[in-house]
Amino acid sequence: MSQSTLKSSFLSFTGRAKVLHMTWFAFFVTFLVWFSHVPFKDEIIAALNLQPHEWKIILILNVALTIPARIVTGMLVDKYGPRKSYAAMLLATAFLCFFFAVAQSFEVLALAKFLMGFVGAGFVIGIRMISEWFPAKQLGLAEGIYKGMGNVGSAVGAATLGFVAAHVFGDGENAWRYAIASTGVIALIYSVFYYREMTDTPAGSTYFRPNKSGGLELTSKRDFIFCLLINIPMVGSLAALTWRVTEAGINVGLEPGAEAVSGLISNTTSYIIYALLLALYMYQARVLFSVNKSMLQSAPMDQALQYKFKQVAILSVGYAVTFGAELAVISMLVDYFKTMNFGGKETWLAAGMSVSIFGASFAAVDVLSCPSGGIISDKFGRKKPLVILLTGAAIGFFVMSQITESWHLSLVVMSMMVCSFFLGSAAGCVFAVVPLVKRKLTGQIAGTVGAYGNVGAVVFLLVFSFVSTSTFFFVIACGISFAVLCALFLDEPQGHMTEVLADGTIQKIDLS
């Protein structure tokens, strides 16, 4: 099936198109639930009497658990298949949503939002599902549609849930709770529908599973060391988050004369968490060694059976600065438009435009940008488009760092949408390459790359909690510039990848 045929069958809802549509909608639902809090900042703060620093902590907690969750989810999807995995994820999403909606204190709200970070791991499952149904030459477009249409769930929530609360649930003091809970109901119903309608692979296709579970299978001793190093920032970002919610972390940058506030956790608790994170890293290293023990103790593996972990590392950095920046920006953008008095803003508001719509515009561009990035990657190669699009995103965030209230609102929105297009297209390019590294490990590789997206989000949101918005955008521009340098070392996928079946049979998968 050619790209033109794929485009023409987009609305057919049969075969591959059905799998694509049902899977992106599953992703859409998880993002709708995950960011359902965004349009209700004022209502949640008033209902639970939150302090400004407590709201920023909620934003950071929202993306923290997704880091380990994507690693674990990648392992599970490779072992059990995307059909069962996505149905289970949607079911868990529903109940976590209900837990958040009924929270009556900051502590319970913080715990609920931390646990809801698990919802963000659903993205990994769809990457494996799409890679099973589409050939390599169409993966960029298919994965781009999946990512772009799914990501827009956050934008739809930001733009509509406020209206739902006001006009469906009566705009009472608990209307925001009902509106958020309604997204959980959608997830609950769709989990059953997805399980009944999907299959892991087309009829007659083989679902490649890793030979061992618990850790990523590697193919060289150098890659084993490389993987251990790549795992450090994941644990490190969680340690930084832990520090941020202690009394010392919360009070950094406190205005002179302002009263210090107590932390969400005590110093003693933070030390215990640090120790647990160190133990987690050591355990992860031990499992990784166990999975790769025979490889490490044997002669070098046949070159045809190897893959380069360098590819995974570069893609992880690329996704950290693209998806990480997107998560961080959509978490704060609605409030940014509420507080900034741009020229022409009052005219737009008087015409019935909602501030939430301005904030949602950044994520909404993903509908076009991610598939566009995928198409560009399919047509012009995997490496060069990624470098160019990352460069465009870096320039875009530098422009955003120069925004002041003297700018007209229309120019601000246009600048952000152009920047978002480059950002989303680059992210689409990243996941056009992920399924081409090693098919049977696609879930785990997607989990690692996806986890780095949340590492980036945690880092950027930590930066945002300390600096001005302009500085925040400038830091993102610098981060993306570093990713451009890394992308220069990416190898263009060529020829085919080799997989070994359970019976020892070698099968080659065409990448042309």
Q: What is the pLDDT of residue 310?
A: 92
Q: What is the pLDDT of residue 8?
A: 45
The alpha-carbon radius of gyration of the chain (Å, integer) is 22
Q: Is 509 helix (H, G, I), strand (E, B) or coil?
A: strand
Q: What is the pLDDT of residue 443?
A: 81
Residue 206's closest CA among 417, 413, 467, 506? 506
47: number of Cβ within 10 Å: 16
Structure-derived torsion over alpha carbons of residues 348, 354, 360, 366, reported in degrees to the nearest 10: -60
Q: Which residues have C-beta within 8 Å of that of residue 46, sequence separation ≥ 6?
A: none
φ/ψ of 510, rounded to 5, equals: -70, 135
β-bridge pairing 506-510 and 496-500: antiparallel
Q: How far is Cα 416 from Cα 358, in angstroms, rounded to an integer?
A: 10
Q: What is the pLDDT of residue 342?
A: 83
Q: Is 334 helix (H, G, I), strand (E, B) or coil?
A: helix
DSSP tag of 343? B
Query: In three state form, how does the secondary structure of 407-436 look?
Result: CEHHHHHHHHHHHHHHHHHHHHHHHHHHHH
Q: What is the pLDDT of residue 470?
A: 93
To 5 degrees, how large is the angle CA 259–CA 263–CA 267? 120
The interaxial angle of helices 309-339 and 139-167, nearest 10 deg, is: 30
Domain range summary for the chain, segments of one domain joined by +: 7-200+301-510, 220-251+263-300
Pull the structure tokens for residue 442: 């696609």
Amino acid at site 14: T
Per-residue confidence in pLDDT tens, the chain, 512 aa: 444 444 545 566 778 889 999 999 999 999 999 988 888 888 899 999 888 778 878 887 887 788 888 888 888 888 889 999 999 999 999 999 999 999 998 889 999 999 998 888 888 899 889 988 888 778 888 888 888 888 788 878 877 888 888 888 876 788 899 999 999 999 999 999 999 999 988 887 877 777 777 778 888 999 999 999 999 998 998 898 888 878 777 766 656 666 666 777 788 888 999 999 999 899 989 989 998 998 888 888 777 677 889 999 999 999 999 989 988 888 788 788 888 888 777 766 665 566 667 767 777 787 788 888 888 888 888 899 999 999 999 999 999 999 988 888 889 888 988 999 999 899 888 988 888 888 778 888 888 898 898 889 888 988 887 888 999 999 999 999 999 999 999 998 776 655 555 555 666 666 55
- CATH of range 7-200+301-510; options 1.20.1250.20, 2.40.50.100, 1.10.645.10, 2.60.40.10: 1.20.1250.20
H-helix or E-strand spanning residue 390: helix 383-401
Q: How far is Cα 37 from Cα 62, in angstroms, rounded to an integer?
A: 10
Residue with tokens 């007209």: 408
Q: How far is Cα 337 from Cα 405, in angstroms, rounded to an integer?
A: 10
Cβ contact 73:124 at 8 Å: yes
Q: Is 479 helix (H, G, I), strand (E, B) or coil?
A: helix
Q: What is the pLDDT of residue 4?
A: 47
Cβ contact 437:224 at 8 Å: no
